[in-house]
């Protein structure tokens, strides 16, 4: 049912917890299945995500997608991180069962919201549409 990579990220999740004094916070939830994901990020002066952590309440696929997205975006610019979609996260994990796509793969959305939060807190809300142009919020 799940790929080895999904099972690895579920059994050994990376970057779990909260970034201390985060620059941006994004939280999403799916009321249908109850998954909740919270991403916290640190951003440097060159707009690179230098640290990202997550807390997820949900199924194994939710934990795995949260873990995978943290590895995909660390070190990337805000624009590069915003290009990551729920589909690319699932593909990076070797796929997810169709019945898990809608309720557990919200990780990229949480990252997008953390980016939006960072830009807004820093008086750059006018940049949100440009940076998140490929995001589906």
pLDDT in tens, 57-101: 988 899 999 999 999 999 999 999 999 998 899 999 999 888 887
Residue 103 confidence (pLDDT): 63
Residue 27 confidence (pLDDT): 96
The domain in which residue 124 lies consists of 4-131
Beta bridge partners of 40: 25, 53
* Structural contact between residues 110 and 26, judged by C-beta atoms closer than 8 angstroms: yes
* Mean pLDDT confidence for 111-127: 95
pLDDT in tens, 19-45: 999 999 999 997 777 889 999 999 999
Tell me the pLDDT band of 123, cut-offs 50, 70 and 90. very high
Does 15 map to a domain?
A: yes
Does 109 map to a domain?
A: yes
Does 137 map to a domain?
A: no
Biggest CA–CA distance in the chain, Å, is 45
Just list the catalytic residues.
Answer: 33, 103
**Shortest CA distance to 88 belongs to which of 119, 116, 109?**
109
Residue 135 confidence (pLDDT): 52
User: How far is residue 58's CA from residue 21's CA, in Å, rounded to a whole number?
Assistant: 25
Q: What is the CATH number of the domain that holds 57?
A: 3.90.1010.10
Specify the pTM.
0.91
User: How far is residue 34's CA from residue 38's CA, in Å, rounded to a whole number?
Assistant: 13
């Amino acid at each position: 049912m799940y790929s080895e990579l999904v099972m690895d990220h579920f059994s050994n999740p990376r970057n779990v917890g909260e970034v201390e004094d985060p620059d941006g916070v994004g939280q999403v939830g799916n009321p249908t299945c109850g998954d909740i994901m919270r991403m916290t990020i640190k951003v440097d002066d060159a707009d690179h995500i230098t640290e990202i952590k997550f807390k997820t309440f949900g199924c194994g696929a939710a934990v795995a997608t949260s873990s995978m997205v943290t590895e995909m975006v660390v070190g990337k610019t805000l624009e590069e991180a915003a290009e990551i979609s729920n589909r690319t996260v699932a593909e990076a994990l070797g796929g997810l069962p169709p019945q898990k796509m809608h309720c557990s793969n919200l990780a990229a959305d949480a990252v997008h919201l953390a980016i939006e939060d960072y830009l807004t807190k820093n008086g750059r809300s006018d940049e949100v549409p440009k940076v998140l142009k490929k995001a589906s919020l």
